[in-house]
Chain A
Amino acid sequence: MTKISKICILGGGTAGWMTAAALSNKFKGLGLSIELVESDQIGTIGVGEATLPHIRFFNQALGIDEREFMKSTHATFKLGIEFCDWGQLGDHYVHPFGDYGFPVEELDFHQLWLRLKSGNKVPRLDEYSYPIVSAESGRFQLPGPDTNQIGSNFGYAYQFDSSLYAKFLRTYCERNGVIRTEGKVTSAVRDPGSGDIRAITLEDGREIEADLYVDCSGFRGVLIEQTLETGYDDWSQWLPCNRAIAVPSEARGQLLPYTRATARTAGWQWRIPLQHRTGNGHVYWNEFISDDEATAQLMSTLEGPALAEPKQLFFKTGRRRKFWNQNVICVGLSGGFLEPLESTSIHLIQEGVTALIELFPDAEINPLDRDEYNARMALNFERVRDFLLLHYVATQRDDSEMWRYFRNMELPDSLNEKIEAWITRGYLLKYEFGVFLPPSWIAVMLGQNLMPKGYDPRADRYSESQLLTEFARIQRETVGAVDKTPDQERFLAQYGAKTDTARLVADRADLRGQ
């Protein structure tokens, strides 16, 4: 079987450089040449500034030093996401990266909590989560090695400047021999027999031939859609938000180790604290709010002066019918779009790259490789979609057209069954493959006031005083562990991850104070 000798990656955003980095690392010394084509004229989207804990394993596999990476990308630590105004106006909760409490024998902690809560004997479930309590007080430290210890039983991710991450990875890639070509693709040459892409043509007439193409060209999907016409499954009936406005602002106040997502009347707004600035954005459904209004809402709620002109983005939620079609694999936004409510954009890139490495084909592509890739990625996307949709439907809000739309929505069966089982008895329909595991579902459902009507009867086999003692211990130890945790800013400095760049200050009079 002839091996692939040349890969061409189209697009140099986060997706393109993550793909190039992973491939160049894994297939180092194996006679695989990687060429990445990008154009300085085409901007990158870079919405995914907040990540999930899995990114750490991606970086570790590349042998990236955490401190160096954090300094270069002005990264902060992330313990979870705070959701404001989702269940009802005025509500807020944190979706943490970690479990609540500890299971007792075969029983989940939240079942015991539900029993005690039904008698009003305990505070909110959040008090038994170290990452939540720590996040709320702006503190951070790395988890210790023993995950049975309070203060070590959590995961963490980063908030970073994704364009700086792409730049950081570019340096890494170039050291690994990845060729970067500046240029804009104008057309593709297809093999008349197989239909595969044989070459791509750049604006200046240059042709690049490769065995395999990774399309990281963003929403346009230059190869996967414009050339191969693969088709797109439109999911806007479930997730109708279709536009966003993004703007950076001056960082103000304490550097928080979490992302914030605040529900609005026709969408929601993100706030991502980086070391040197804060990223902000408003995701909305243009059916119910004008672009001007959406921009005004965003600008009026910034904590500090804007550092640039607001940038507008257009999208359609859904996924490409085939993530791998012919000899083209689409990674990143060319593969599909799911709003960044749970920081899944970069994660889905990572899933795509990891699956490509495991299913890396030969020059003559075995259709089985393609089938398996497509099946896996489809499942990943669908499971994320259901989890995002949960945020919109697990709510009591009906104060605007958008929220009333969700109230009347008929849910996918998979999601409906999950919600019903939770409401009936705090039961979680579990799956093994998919990024959001039970604690995430608990966080959102409880956080948005879906209080189960019952609980697992096995919780009744313990005496109440026995349980209360155990609960008090966990709560006490959680507070104790958080007391010993430094403020994030101090930890960044101690750890050696503090960036040399000072906090950015708006210097243009026309932008100040908007």
Chain B
Amino acid sequence: MTDPSRTIVVYGGGFAGHLVAAACARSLGGAARLILIASDQAGREDVLYGNASAPTAYDFFRSVGLDEPTLMMQTGSAFSYGTQFTHWPGAPSSWMQAYHLPLPVLFGVPFQHFLTAEKEKLEPYLVSAQAALKGAFAHPPEDPKNPLSRAEYGYQFSISDLTHALVRLNDQREVTIIETGVRDVHTSGGQIASLVLEDGQQVEADLFVDCSGADRRLIRALDVAFHVERTLCATHEIQSAGQLGPPRRTIAATQHGWSASTPLQTSVETLTITHPDSASAERGASHTFETGTLERAWAGNCVAVGHAAWGIEPLTAAPMILVQRDVERLLDLIPLSRDNTVEAREYNRRFEDDLAHANAFQRALFATDALPSTPYWQAAAAVPPGEKLERKLAQFRSRGIFVRFDLEPFNEEDWAILHNGMGLMPERYDRQVDGVEAEALGRQLTGIKQAVAQIVSKMPPHHVYMSNMKRYLEKQKHG
């Protein structure tokens, strides 16, 4: 039933192009002929994938052929408990936007209600947040009685090193790599008929994957509009570091935007985002980019992946989550024949949901009246929050509950941590809390905090854990 003559052409030599090629090669086996046109670099905007991935990256990278040992040994990546936001407008203090498993249910009542009733902060209860702040790391153990088992982690990485690792993978696999540039895109009846290369060669395919970044070379040829939300300015710097820093990114808000600093094994990467009108944007090797979304990511026989389909600020792991979801959606829906109506419709439905949900999460960072009056912050505030976010915010503010939608990229814990970080305090808490005896509750809450503090005090610094692990992996390889 499978058509072995199926050809997939991936266009784009940056991170997204190599990721799609690697994922297809691994996942489809010999079920499709893969061609990667890697001549055109996806461009400077690859740094906008950011330096952070969510806990789902463990399985995802492994599924494309980059397991954790490979990441650590070959890409200089580090572990990440999340992002610390400092000086963020509207937030009462800095907070650790950490990854965590579901929060405890005490006496049959969700945890948030006790925080509301006791007017307490969430952070001391989060083992991943506390370890991140201390700069310590250890893998979560399987034993559910160990408080560290509640921690989750993602990775901190350099997008160019990650891309190089994918390039090496693709070199070893059945991917035809073409280094010649594309001169022309031929379309016919809303489909891409062929690509004409610089040397005159024509390339035809059943499916074209546009990974050309903001250029959108293929999907643009099909007249699919990109709805621009904001224009921003990015500056990317790399400094070498003698020692691996903490397992967290730090984002510091400034008058004109924000700056993220990410510790990697031998360097620290800094990404600064401002508004193009800000004076600070003029300095250095900065470039402008647009946030927004394609009206549809799959049109005819062409699917746009990554920055070709969307632009989003790398404030959280959202860009990596989205590119991962792009790939998963694509693999779930590789068309079986020339008629891909069903696949395109379903792809676009999921795409719209994912984008809306990821945008809602990041938009919540600007849901405060305390934003500076400078262009960056005002432009962010001008983006409508949308009905879903409004419902989420209203219900949390009103009674500390979480409105959820199907298969969101950010889970309930992410939202709980975000709301708490932004200083939202629900007006009410669950009435059942009043039935809990104060002393018993106090004992429970203190117990959790102490257990967290105790385990964190025993955890090794991130750099020590990393070098021990690498030594162990090295030994295993040779042993």
Q: Is A433's CB under 8 angstroms from B404's CB?
A: yes
Kindly supply a per-residue 1/0 record for chain B positions 5-28, scoring 1 wherever the CB is within 8 Å of any chain A CB and 0 otherwise.
Answer: 010000000000000000000011
Within 8 A of A (CB), among B328-364: 331-334, 336-337, 342-343, 345-346, 349
Q: Is B333's CB under 8 angstroms from A461's CB?
A: no
B61 to chain A, nearest CB (A): 13
B417 to chain A, nearest CB (A): 20
Instruction: Say whether B468 faces chain A, with CB atoms less than 8 Å apart.
Output: no
Within 8 A of A (CB), among B80-129: 108
Q: Compute how far the CA of A375 lies from the CA of B404 in the bound complex, rounded to whole angstroms.
A: 12
Instruction: Say whether A432 faces chain B, with CB atoms less than 8 Å apart.
Output: yes
Instruction: Say whether B32 faces chain A, with CB atoms less than 8 Å apart.
Output: yes
Kindly supply a per-residue 1/0 record for chain A positions 359-381, scoring 1 wherever the CB is within 8 Å of any chain B CB and 0 otherwise.
Answer: 11010001011001001000000
Interface segment out of the listed A24-32, A161-169, A315-323 = A24-32
Instruction: Say whether B448 faces chain A, with CB atoms less than 8 Å apart.
Output: no
* Residue from the list A61, A360, A432, A454 in contact with B336, Cβ < 8 A: A454
Instruction: Say whether B141 faces chain A, with CB atoms less than 8 Å apart.
Output: no
Instruction: Say whether B63 faces chain A, with CB atoms less than 8 Å apart.
Output: yes
* Residue from the list A26, A118, A420, A460 in contact with B432, Cβ < 8 A: A26
Give every chain A residue within 8 A of B2 (Cβ-Cβ): 457, 460
Give every chain B residue within 8 A of A433 (Cβ-Cβ): 404-406
Residue ID in chain B nearest A26 by CB atoms: B432
Within 8 A of A (CB), among B18-72: 27-32, 63
Kindly supply a per-residue 1/0 record for chain B positions 302-333, scoring 1 wherever the CB is within 8 Å of any chain A CB and 0 otherwise.
Answer: 00000000000000000000000000000111
Give every chain B residue within 8 A of A431 (Cβ-Cβ): 406-407
Q: Is A105's CB under 8 angstroms from B435's CB?
A: no
* Residue from the list B31, B108, B346 in contact with A429, Cβ < 8 A: B346
Q: Is A30's CB under 8 angstroms from B434's CB?
A: yes
Give every chain B residue within 8 A of A372 (Cβ-Cβ): 391, 395, 401, 403
Q: Is B432's CB under 8 angstroms from A27's CB?
A: yes
Within 8 A of B (CB), among A426-481: 427, 429-433, 454-458, 460-461
* Residue from the list A28, A429, A458 in contact with B27, Cβ < 8 A: A458
Q: Is A455's CB under 8 angstroms from B1's CB?
A: yes
Instruction: Say whether A421 faces chain B, with CB atoms less than 8 Å apart.
Output: yes
Q: Is A457's CB under 8 angstroms from B28's CB?
A: yes
B105 to chain A, nearest CB (A): 11
Interface residues on B, range: 35 or more
Instruction: Say whether B399 faces chain A, with CB atoms less than 8 Å apart.
Output: yes
Give every chain A residue within 8 A of B346 (Cβ-Cβ): 417, 421, 427, 429
Give every chain A residue within 8 A of B404 (Cβ-Cβ): 432-433
Residue ID in chain A nearest B6 by CB atoms: A457
* Residue from the list A26, A424, A457 in contact with B108, Cβ < 8 A: A26
Q: Is A432's CB under 8 angstroms from B431's CB?
A: no
Residue ID in chain B nearest A429 by CB atoms: B346
Q: Known contacts A3-B431, A457-B336: does B407 contact A430 (CB below 8 Å)?
A: yes
Q: Compute how far the CA of A425 lies from the CA of B435 in the bound complex, rounded to whole angstroms.
A: 53
Q: Compute how far the CA of A430 lies from the CA of B332 in the bound complex, rounded to whole angstroms.
A: 12
Q: Is A461's CB under 8 angstroms from B395's CB?
A: no
Q: Compute how far the CA of A115 lies from the CA of B432 in the bound complex, rounded to whole angstroms.
A: 52
B401 to chain A, nearest CB (A): 6
Instruction: Say whether A409 faces chain B, with CB atoms less than 8 Å apart.
Output: no
Instruction: Say whether B394 faces chain A, with CB atoms less than 8 Å apart.
Output: yes
Give every chain B residue within 8 A of A360 (Cβ-Cβ): 430-431
B21 to chain A, nearest CB (A): 16
Q: Compute how far the CA of A26 lies from the CA of B436 in the bound complex, rounded to whole angstroms.
A: 11
Q: Is B27's CB under 8 angstroms from A461's CB?
A: yes
Q: Known contacts A368-B398, A420-B342: does B428 contact A461 (CB below 8 Å)?
A: no
Instruction: Say whether A399 faces chain B, with CB atoms less than 8 Å apart.
Output: no
Instruction: Say whether A292 faces chain B, with CB atoms less than 8 Å apart.
Output: no
Instruction: Say whether A1 faces chain B, with CB atoms less than 8 Å apart.
Output: yes
Q: Compute how far the CA of A106 lies from the CA of B32 in the bound complex, rounded to whole angstroms.
A: 18
Residue ID in chain A nearest B3 by CB atoms: A457
Q: Is A359's CB under 8 angstroms from B401's CB?
A: yes
Instruction: Say whether A358 faces chain B, with CB atoms less than 8 Å apart.
Output: yes
B360 to chain A, nearest CB (A): 16
Residue ID in chain A nearest B109 by CB atoms: A26
* Residue from the list B29, B63, B394, B401 in contact with A460, Cβ < 8 A: B29
Q: Compute how far the CA of A458 lies from the CA of B430 in the bound complex, rounded to whole angstroms.
A: 47
B470 to chain A, nearest CB (A): 28
Q: Compute how far the CA of A358 lies from the CA of B398 in the bound complex, rounded to whole angstroms.
A: 13
Kindly supply a per-residue 1/0 record for chain A positions 378-391, scoring 1 wherever the CB is within 8 Å of any chain B CB and 0 otherwise.
Answer: 00000000000000
Give every chain B residue within 8 A of A118 (Cβ-Cβ): 1
Give every chain B residue within 8 A of A359 (Cβ-Cβ): 399, 401
Give every chain A residue within 8 A of B6 (Cβ-Cβ): 457
Within 8 A of A (CB), among B365-395: 391, 394-395
Q: Compute how far the CA of A61 lies from the CA of B405 in the bound complex, rounded to whole angstroms.
A: 25
Q: Is A30's CB under 8 angstroms from B432's CB?
A: yes
Give every chain B residue within 8 A of A362 (Cβ-Cβ): 428
Q: Is A458's CB under 8 angstroms from B108's CB?
A: no
A6 to chain B, nearest CB (A): 14
A58 to chain B, nearest CB (A): 13
Q: Compute how far the CA of A186 lies from the CA of B30 in the bound complex, rounded to whole angstroms.
A: 74
Q: Is B1's CB under 8 angstroms from A30's CB?
A: no
Q: Compute how far the CA of A424 lies from the CA of B431 in the bound complex, rounded to whole angstroms.
A: 50
Q: Is B332's CB under 8 angstroms from A358's CB?
A: no
Q: Is B431's CB under 8 angstroms from A461's CB?
A: no
* Residue from the list A61, A368, A369, A458 in contact with B28, Cβ < 8 A: A458
Residue ID in chain A nearest B428 by CB atoms: A1
Give every chain B residue within 8 A of A368 (Cβ-Cβ): 394-395, 398-399
Q: Compute how far the CA of A272 lies from the CA of B210 in the bound complex, rounded to whole angstroms.
A: 56
Q: Known contacts A432-B407, A460-B2: does B27 contact A61 (CB below 8 Å)?
A: no
Within 8 A of A (CB), among B416-435: 428, 430-432, 434-435
A residues near B (Cβ < 8 Å) are 1, 3, 26-30, 61, 105-106, 115, 118, 358-360, 362, 366, 368-369, 372, 375, 417, 420-421, 424-425, 427, 429-433, 454-458, 460-461
Q: List 16 extra interface pairs beyond A3-B431, A118-B1, A430-B406, CB under 8 A.
A: A1-B428, A27-B431, A28-B435, A106-B63, A106-B331, A358-B430, A362-B428, A372-B391, A420-B342, A424-B336, A433-B405, A454-B1, A454-B336, A457-B32, A457-B336, A458-B334
Interface pairs A-B: 8 shortest CB-CB: A461-B29, A454-B336, A457-B31, A432-B406, A424-B342, A431-B406, A460-B31, A368-B398
A–B Cβ pairs within 8 angstroms, 30 of them: A27-B431, A27-B435, A28-B435, A29-B435, A30-B435, A61-B108, A105-B63, A118-B1, A358-B401, A359-B399, A366-B398, A369-B399, A375-B391, A417-B345, A421-B342, A424-B342, A425-B343, A427-B332, A427-B333, A429-B346, A429-B349, A431-B407, A454-B337, A457-B28, A458-B27, A458-B31, A460-B2, A461-B29, A461-B30, A461-B31
